[in-house]
Homo-oligomer: A and B are copies of this chain.
Amino acid sequence: MTELALAAFAAERGVHPRTEAKTARFAAFSRRFDARAYLEALQRQGLRWLGRSERSFPPLLRAISDSPSGLFLRGQAPRGLLAQPAVAIVGARACSGYGSQVARMLGRELAAAGLVVVSGLARGVDGEAHRGALDAGGATVAVLGCGVDRDYPAAHAELAARIGASGLIVSEYAPGVEPAPWRFPARNRIVAGLAQATVVVEARERSGALITADFALEEGREVFACPGEITSALSAGTNALLRLGATPLTSSVDVLELFGLEAAVGAEVELGEPARAILERLDRPTSADELVRASGLDAGVAAAALSELELAGLVSTSHGVYRRTGR
């Protein structure tokens, strides 16, 4: 139970677990630490502990050079979920419409094909990736940079509850630990560490998502970057990753191939005639006005068709621009 003592001590002292393991202070703390009482208190909060030396600790995370002493878990999924094939999807918090649509699409399609989607519960790309996985009825894991009991950011409390209902929220930080800037890069190593592959959807230069990609590269894991327009600062980081040799991601199939998986064949969606006409014209990002003009449909009919396509997950919209985000 030294692992748990370490995590508890680090929480009490407000430092990172790895910096304290060999101090005399920790030795003293460890002697008087009541692991059983601590675990019981965790259980009362609906939380669990998974030590690094336990059999069900995810092997990929154990393998990284700076593996955490263990993970606190929140959520209904069995801890075995953490050992299933997983992909990390990360990116900008203040992402563009393109970034959020692609993150959601990838979350949905990769989860539907059976992969666990790992991300950081942040606004923007992270949140959309989790939501996409939930849309598909798939499993998703959120890694926090604060105590596992915290919903951070607060705006994602409801999303965290939905993730916990079928998946897991995990953290190396014990309950009560406050978010702090230095904890997010540390959190990112766990995001990358849990996954065989990391996808960066959209990232500025010097974005935190690039730190996650660096961790993945250091551990020899596959890194995908989504190409984006070279005139958008939000794609500067991802396009720079491509220049550094990251694999360009052009569809979820690129990731699935790495895992030897095939895309989920959804129940064929029955589309009405107007919806099919619009889908044909959506071979690039297009405004509703342009779609109405190009399709020759009545504006009301076109609007209904667009709603139909959005509900079917085939199209998504942001700032009045529609994109095809499904096959």
Q: Residue A9 at the B interface, CB < 8 A?
A: no
A248 touches B254 (CB 8 A): no
Q: Which residue of B lies closest to A106 (CB)?
A: B230
- Which of the residues B226, B231, B233, B324 comes within 8 Å of A98, measured between beta carbons? B231
Cross-chain pairs A/B with CB under 8 angstroms, 8 sampled: A98-B231, A102-B230, A227-B227, A228-B229, A232-B283, A240-B250, A242-B248, A290-B319
B283 touches A229 (CB 8 A): no
Complex interface: chain B residues within 8 A of A324 (CB): 231
Q: Residue A166 at the B interface, CB < 8 A?
A: no
Complex interface: chain B residues within 8 A of A207 (CB): none
Complex interface: chain B residues within 8 A of A102 (CB): 230-231
Contact flags (1/0) for A22-40 with B, using CB distance below 8 Å?
Answer: 0000000000000000000
B243 touches A250 (CB 8 A): yes
Complex interface: chain B residues within 8 A of A242 (CB): 227, 242, 248
Smallest CB separation, A42 vs chain B (Å): 42
Q: Which residue of B lies closest to A249 (CB)?
A: B230
In the bound assembly, the distance between CA atoms of A284 and B319 in angstroms comes to 13
B96 touches A284 (CB 8 A): yes
Complex interface: chain B residues within 8 A of A212 (CB): none
The A contact surface, by secondary structure, is: mixed
Using known A-B contacts A283-B233, A284-B232, determine if residue A227 contacts B239 with beta carbons closer than 8 Å.
Answer: yes
10 A-B pairs with the lowest CB-CB distances in the bound complex, closest first: A227-B227, A233-B283, A242-B248, A231-B323, A232-B284, A239-B250, A227-B239, A243-B248, A230-B250, A98-B229
In the bound assembly, the distance between CA atoms of A265 and B96 in angstroms comes to 31
Q: Residue A235 at the B interface, CB < 8 A?
A: yes
B236 touches A243 (CB 8 A): no
In the bound assembly, the distance between CA atoms of A284 and B318 in angstroms comes to 14
Contact flags (1/0) for A211-246 with B, using CB distance below 8 Å?
Answer: 000000000000000111111111110111011000
In the bound assembly, the distance between CA atoms of A102 and B284 in angstroms comes to 17
B231 touches A285 (CB 8 A): yes
Complex interface: chain B residues within 8 A of A232 (CB): 283-285
Smallest CB separation, A292 vs chain B (Å): 15
A233 touches B96 (CB 8 A): no
> Among residues 282 to 323 in chain A, which have CB atoms less than 8 Å away from a CB atom of chain B?
283-285, 287, 290, 319, 323
